[in-house]
């Protein structure tokens, strides 16, 4: 038993029966169980009980053992002066401070189904893909589970984007550029690519974006790759980078993207070239994203993007490879739309107090589901995953609930724990 589980059972009233008696044998009627307090102070506020013919209103504190009241120094804490009931799992000692104030103690050990304790212990100690794997049943997934997860994820992402917007004076185009750079970097170079993007004033991007050679040279130069040219093309990029640096007074700060453990198509050389091509092709990219009414219109913005001609025969500087145009794959475009475009589109409409939830959900529903180890794990449990709304929902749920074993705040876990 943990205090967290005890609070959970009290909040959702999961007991074998409610004929409660305190440790003195007096009947205790819980008129109102109180409001679960996740902050400092008593665990449940504004509760109401009836005992010995008296109705008491105040707060309720829960502990695994009655002695925890002493260990937690509640007697000296003024926040606990209005406690009307001490609820415990197991009574081990008398607490003189409580008996002196006639605060009853309710022991719950005999009111809790042992099957719940067994299940919870299994959840905490399990090492499977998800803690509830052995008792999981996909029929326990609540109605609108996926829509709810997507909206939670968008709300969290929107908070991050709003902080960026405040920093960059509500320049949505600049924040889009930073966010896209992050996505182009994938896991290995995401933060480095964002640093590269944020180190360049977006007004400079706007001024040179019609010259893809200069834009590509700018990205490569800030990455520290042009110090010692290995071929004619690198000499050209170096010349252009030096010109742009002088013209726009760009600092000598450099960032160094990583190549380790990356497949060649994901090398930072290729991804930065593709990012440069995207911004050379698409003027007013943010406006076009906002105007898009369906996923097909979003795909049109990215479908033609490719690394420059040099990269048709290279993955890295100076080393020739077989002819292979480096276009954006469908899967990569999906990632850009799901992780960058739609969250920013949602934030923009929220910022302008426009209802957009149904529209954004429709975008997610029209995009194919991702394929990764987490999605595969859910599929192995019999969960049907037909589109990106469902895959994104389950990935989000896995990261926020399953990985952290937050089974007590999980809507699926609630059903599994409650049922025998």
Mark residue 102 as left, alpha or beta (left: phi above 0; alpha: psi -120 to 50; beta: remaining).
left
Q: What is the DSSP string of 388-408?
A: HHHHHHHHHHIIIIITTT-GG
Tokens describing residue 102? 């006639």
- Per DSSP, 17 falls in state -
> Do 181 and 275 form a contact (C-beta atoms < 8 A)?
yes
Q: Which long-range contacts (CB under 8 A, 24 or more apart) does 239-242 make?
A: 240/213, 240/214, 241/217
End-to-end CA distance of the chain: 18
> Do 337 and 300 form a contact (C-beta atoms < 8 A)?
no
CA distance 116 to 121: 9
Crossing angle (nearest 10°) for helices 388-397 and 373-380 = 90
CA distance 176 to 337: 12
- Per DSSP, 338 falls in state I
Strand partners, 65: 90
> Do 383 and 315 form a contact (C-beta atoms < 8 A)?
no
pLDDT in tens, the chain (420 residues): 888 889 988 988 889 899 999 999 999 999 999 999 988 899 999 999 999 899 999 999 999 999 999 999 998 888 899 999 999 999 999 999 899 999 999 999 999 988 877 777 766 666 678 888 888 888 889 999 999 999 999 999 999 999 999 999 999 999 999 999 999 999 999 999 999 999 999 999 999 999 999 999 999 999 999 999 999 999 999 999 999 999 999 988 899 999 998 999 999 999 999 999 999 999 999 999 999 999 999 999 999 999 999 999 999 999 999 999 999 999 999 999 999 999 999 999 988 877 788 899 999 999 999 999 999 999 999 999 999 999 999 999 999 998 888 888 888 887 887 765
Phi first, then psi, for residue 32 (nearest 5°) are -140, 125
Tokens describing residue 239? 């010349």
Residue with structure tokens 């969250």?
Answer: 343
CA distance 184 to 3: 44
What pLDDT, on the 0 to 100 scale, is given for residue 164?
95
CA distance 388 to 35: 36
- Per DSSP, 77 falls in state -
CA distance 197 to 283: 17
Tokens describing residue 158? 């929107």
């Amino acid at each position: 038993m943990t205090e967290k589980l005890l609070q959970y059972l009290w909040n959702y009233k999961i007991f074998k029966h409610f004929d409660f008696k305190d440790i003195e044998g007096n009947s205790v009627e819980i008129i109102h169980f109180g409001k679960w307090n996740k902050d400092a102070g008593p665990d449940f506020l504004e509760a109401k009980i009836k005992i010995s013919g008296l109705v008491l209103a105040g707060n309720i504190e829960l502990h695994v053992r009655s002695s925890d009241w002493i260990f937690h120094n509640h007697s000296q804490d003024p926040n606990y002066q209005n406690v009307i009931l001490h609820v415990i799992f197991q009574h081990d000692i008398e607490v003189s401070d409580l008996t002196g104030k006639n605060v009853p103690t309710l022991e719950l050990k005999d009111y809790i189904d042992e099957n719940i304790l067994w299940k919870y212990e299994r959840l905490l100690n399990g090492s499977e893909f998800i803690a509830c794997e052995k008792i999981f049943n996909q029929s326990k997934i609540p109605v609108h589970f996926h829509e709810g997860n997507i909206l939670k994820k968008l709300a969290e992402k929107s908070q991050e984007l709003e902080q960026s917007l405040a920093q960059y004076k509500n320049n949505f185009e600049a924040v889009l550029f930073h966010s896209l750079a992050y996505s182009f970097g994938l896991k290995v170079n995401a933060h480095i690519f964002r640093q590269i993007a944020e180190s360049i004033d977006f007004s400079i991007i706007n001024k040179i974006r019609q010259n893809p050679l200069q834009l590509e040279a700018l990205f490569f130069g800030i990455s520290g790759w042009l110090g010692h040219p290995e071929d004619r093309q690198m000499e050209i990029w170096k010349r252009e980078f030096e010109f742009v640096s002088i013209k726009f007074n760009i600092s000598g700060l450099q960032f160094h993207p990583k190549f380790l453990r990356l497949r060649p198509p994901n090398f930072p050389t290729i991804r930065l070239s593709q990012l440069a091509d995207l911004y050379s092709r698409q003027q007013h990219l943010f406006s076009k994203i906002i105007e898009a009414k369906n996923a097909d219109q979003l795909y049109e913005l990215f479908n033609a993007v490719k690394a420059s001609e040099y990269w048709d025969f290279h993955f890295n500087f100076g080393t020739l490879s077989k002819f292979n145009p480096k276009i954006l794959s469908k899967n990569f475009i999906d990632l850009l739309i799901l992780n960058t475009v739609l969250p920013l589109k949602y934030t923009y409409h929220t910022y302008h107090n426009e209802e957009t939830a149904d529209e954004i959900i429709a975008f997610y529903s029209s995009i194919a589901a991702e394929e990764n180890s987490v999605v595969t794990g859910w599929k192995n449990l019999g969960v049907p995953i037909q589109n990106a709304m469902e895959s994104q929902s389950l990935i989000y749920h896995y990261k926020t609930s399953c990985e952290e074993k937050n089974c007590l705040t999980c809507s699926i876990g609630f059903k599994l724990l409650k049922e025998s």
